[in-house]
Structures are given as C-alpha cells and as structure tokens.
Amino acid sequence: MLISEIYHHEPWTIRSDATIKEGIQELIKDGCNGLIVVDENDKLKGVLALQDIAAATIPHEFRNNLNLAAAMFKRGFFQEMCATIKDQPVSSVMRTDFVDVTLDTNIMAVTADFLENDLYLVPVVDKGELIGVVSRTDIKKALALCMGVPDAE
C-alpha cells in the first residue's frame, strides 16, 4: 500500500510564529494530535505534536526521572508552566528533525517511522511542496481495511 492511497489531502498546518496557545487551539479545533509547521510562504518548517507541547511544561531535570517529577509535586505548578509557555512561538517546541514522505512511499516505511519516533503525523510532499499529511488515524484505517474490518473506510 502506498501513501497516495491513505493520506489526508488537506494538512493541518500552523505558522511557525503562532503561539503555543494557538497551537493547542488548533489541535482541539481540528481534533488531531499534531500539526505541520509552515512559514509565511507555506514552506515546511517542522512538526508540532501534542507531546512536544506537553514536554515543554516539564522542567528538563524531571523529563528522565518520573520519580523526581512525582516527588516535586506542587499545587498549581502545571498551570504555572502552561502560563509560562503559552505565548512562546510554536517554533520553540516544534520538531525540526522529522521525516517527510512522498505519494509513492510504502506504508511500511511510514509505520516503522511512527513506531520509532512516536509520531502523530508525517508531512506528505510532492516536488518539495506540502500536499498532505499521514496521521495515526490513517494508519489505523489502513490496518482495518487490510484486515477486512467492516466500516474501515
């Protein structure tokens, strides 16, 4: 199966200078867990996933030590961290090290990338231009379709 058979033709995008708060608003509005970040000329700049925003609320010293994070609980701390990051640009937390795919990319390669990098979406490009996105939902639908699950389309 190729990406051309499963991708969303309308990618969920956000400008790199948008705020993190605007990013969360877009995730909620679009009902997705990731956005493609573009510049003012709609050129692909990065990928913003829910986990990137969530990670920005966790101090670096807590990220690899869940016990320390749990022990350092302070009422209102999460709210404080959200207030701290909400006006920062999405470019400050987006992933710039990402893979994009083309229409003739095999779904196996994308599925492996989703697993290896804990991705929510992958940009689809054609001749250097962003034309769509592949999301976890698209992978789920492809799995269901290939397994003969009713109502998979």
Query: How confident is the model at residue 153, as a pLDDT?
Result: 63
Helix axes 136-146, 107-117, angle to 10 degrees: 130
DSSP track, 72-102: T--TTHHHHHHHHHTTSBGGGTSBSS---B-
Domain limits, the chain: 3-146
* pLDDT score, position 114: 80
Q: Which residues contact 120 (CB under 8 A, 6 or more apart)?
A: 32, 33, 34, 49, 50, 51, 135, 136
User: How much is the pLDDT for 152?
Assistant: 64
The percent of residues above 90 in pLDDT, for the chain, comes to 55
The pLDDT score that the predictor gives to residue 15 is 97
pLDDT of amino acid 117: 77
List the chain residues with pLDDT less than 70.
Answer: 69, 71-73, 152-153
pLDDT at 64: 74
* Residue-level pLDDT at 113: 82
Cβ count near 33 (within 10 Å):
17
- pLDDT, residue 119, reads 77
List the 34-38 sheet strands across, edge first. Answer: 13-15, 34-38, 44-49
Contact 20, 93 (CB under 8 A): yes
pLDDT in tens, 86-108: 999 999 999 998 889 999 999 99
Q: Please state the pTM of the whole predicted model.
A: 0.85
Residue 92 pLDDT: 96
Tokens 């640009």 appear where? 89
For the chain, give the mean pLDDT. 89
Secondary-structure class of domain 3-146 per CATH? alpha beta
